[in-house]
Structure 1
């Protein structure tokens, strides 16, 4: 299960990441709200943990953006705020749970398990644009109801594009999606080659990958 953790306290983040790994989670840890949004654009998560107080965009603002985009990932908010009005505010903005610092790690794990037990709590959303259907849980796409197999990197690139539809996805984000371990040294031609291959797989659909010069790519209806 993949989990996003947004926590700006480095020492706490390191402890949480280590413990969550031991509990069986694949964890993406970030320290800024803007990075959390970028990762939500790139990946589907089984569950997310957002610290309320982040240095650029607050966890609450990230939460608002997530729900505005229709992302149903269960979200637990971490905070030192213990006033009832703060808990009410977070829950009203779309949080699924609220945990006050300091806390016992075992309680955090129990709350995550409870979120994942909810109907649909461990399933990534199926995304559709026109005749194209993208199912991250099944690692498959369909065009006009017919299954089309994609290599893993092209599947990851398409996921990045469709989650950000209809907006432009920057080349940097595509590099992170397809080559997370090599994104800093990846040649631009490598991305172009895989985009060309992806385009060839989508020719039977009413969706194409459009180049936005100097910026990146986006999906458009034809």
Structure 2
């Protein structure tokens, strides 16, 4: 899962990004609406965390712009404003949820997970291939009915492969789905490690994750 966090308070943004990373979510940080638009121009996101009070243009301006062009990416608004009218305005503009500052990071994570679950439930039912069944809503997998112990990043990688079953996904595409722009210490070779782990955990599932040399990886049913 990849998240864009739009917040001008750098210390807070860094703390949130670190915590989300530990939860298996890649998090990019933009400190203004203009910076956020630059990110959005080159990368798609599973959800946005959007502060209302930003320098220059406000977070509500970005929200309105997203919804006006048909972008339905889930948006969690952060605000120091606390009146009912303020909250209703944010929701009426197309926000999916809101959280008032100061907030507990555990609640932020919980609300974000709820948004991602809701979006996954709306997008698709379980993905089935061979004896493997994967639930996008809960990000869990089963092989012949038995649960598979996956880390969040392993589950995110499996989701990317299954949504494009039979199609080659480049290492770069998979990397962009798992890691944020500022994960400079994580190289492309990390994908090879996660692929190796998935292959081991999916043994007996009736699926194969094949390496297309120089191109990427593809998941197919055996036979």
TM-score tier (shorter): 0.5 to 0.7
Counterpart of 2:58 in structure 1 is 58
- CA distance in structure 1 between the aligned counterparts of 2:34 and 2:64, rounded to whole angstroms: 13
Decide whether the 8 Å contact of 1:46 with 1:122 is kept in 2.
no
Q: What is the CA-CA distance between 1:116 and the residue it aligns to?
A: 0.9
- CA distance in structure 2 between the aligned counterparts of 1:30 and 1:48, rounded to whole angstroms: 11
Counterpart of 1:18 in structure 2 is 18
RCO higher in 1 or 2 (8 Å CA, sep ≥ 6)? 2
Counterpart of 2:117 in structure 1 is 117
Q: Unpaired segments of 5 or more residues in structure 1?
A: 124-136, 142-146, 157-179, 182-222
Structure 1 SS opposite 2:82: coil
Q: What is the CA-CA distance between 1:72 and the residue it aligns to?
A: 1.2
Q: What is the CA-CA distance between 1:70 and the residue it aligns to?
A: 1.0
Decide whether the 8 Å contact of 1:4 with 1:47 is kept in 2.
yes
Q: What is the CA-CA distance between 1:120 and the residue it aligns to?
A: 3.7
Counterpart of 1:93 in structure 2 is 93
Counterpart of 1:189 in structure 2 is none
Decide whether the 8 Å contact of 2:47 with 2:74 is kept in 1.
yes
Decide whether the 8 Å contact of 1:140 with 1:149 is kept in 2.
no
Matches within 5 A, 1:1-222: 1-120=1-120
Counterpart of 1:217 in structure 2 is none
Relative to structure 1, the CA distance from residue 94 to residue 22 in structure 2 (aligned partners, 3 Å threshold; closer, same or farther) is same
Q: What is the CA-CA distance between 1:35 and the residue it aligns to?
A: 1.2
Relative to structure 1, the CA distance from residue 139 to residue 53 in structure 2 (aligned partners, 3 Å threshold; closer, same or farther) is farther
Larger mean CA deviation between 113-122 and 39-48 belongs to 113-122
Q: What is the CA-CA distance between 1:41 and the residue it aligns to?
A: 2.0
Q: Unpaired segments of 5 or more residues in structure 2?
A: 124-159, 175-182, 185-223
Decide whether the 8 Å contact of 1:52 with 1:77 is kept in 2.
yes
Q: Which runs of 4+ in 1 moved over 4 A?
A: 137-141, 147-153
Q: What is the CA-CA distance between 1:150 and the residue it aligns to?
A: 8.1
Decide whether the 8 Å contact of 1:115 with 1:121 is kept in 2.
no
Decide whether the 8 Å contact of 1:116 with 1:122 is kept in 2.
no
Relative to structure 1, the CA distance from residue 102 to residue 69 in structure 2 (aligned partners, 3 Å threshold; closer, same or farther) is same
- CA distance in structure 1 between the aligned counterparts of 2:16 and 2:122, rounded to whole angstroms: 20
Structure 2 SS opposite 1:76: strand
Q: What is the CA-CA distance between 1:119 and the residue it aligns to?
A: 3.9
